[in-house]
Amino acid sequence: MKKSLIKFISVILLTALTALPGISNALQATDNKSIFDGYFAREGNNGTPSRTLHHNVYMKLYTEEGQQWVALLHIPLPYASTVDESVIPKIFVNIRKQINSSAFVRDTFGYLDEKATVQFERFGYMQDKIIFECGSLSPCTIKPADGYLELIKPGMINEHIIKYNHIITQ
């Protein structure tokens, strides 16, 4: 009984010692918690990447009460090119009000004329990266940088690295 208790406590301590520095390292890669301010827009929205994938993509990172969430908003083209980007932060506020667990939701979120899809997932930290489930064989990672972040999606042959520019809103 004592051995199993000691092993259990050792595992908890080891997990805490490896996870907590990961949070700190990930946030040190940026100017602390600024990644939670505003939102991120995929580089190439309304350009060739969007035309290839048929949608614009926006991302928001949330942190509240010890929980971290990532929302990936996919607005379909050609409608996406007519959306006033000043409504994107309001859409993310409504997304957070509507969704309380991991989900894929298709809705207008109170501001769009056509339905868009949002993937809402919890995220965690590993070393200097944010990790979350993204519907592929392996988790996606987010590597924060100053003024942007890189979403790294696993692929069959190699990784897909997608840059998202940080949009700060008031």
Domains in the chain (CATH in brackets) are 2-167 (2.40.128)
**Cα 105 to Cα 48: distance, rounded to the nearest angstrom:** 26
**pTM, to two decimals:** 0.79
pLDDT for 23 beyond 80? no
| Torsion sign across C-alpha atoms 160, 101, 96, 124 | negative
**pLDDT for residue 69 is more than 90:** yes
Alpha carbons 113 and 115: distance in angstroms, whole number:
7
Rounded Cα distance between 142 and 160, Å, is 12
Mean pLDDT confidence for 17-37: 54
* Residue 95: CB atoms within 10 Å: 22
pLDDT band at 32 (very low <50, low <70, confident <90, very high): low
Q: Within 13 Å, how many C-alpha atoms sit on residue 31's CB side?
A: 6
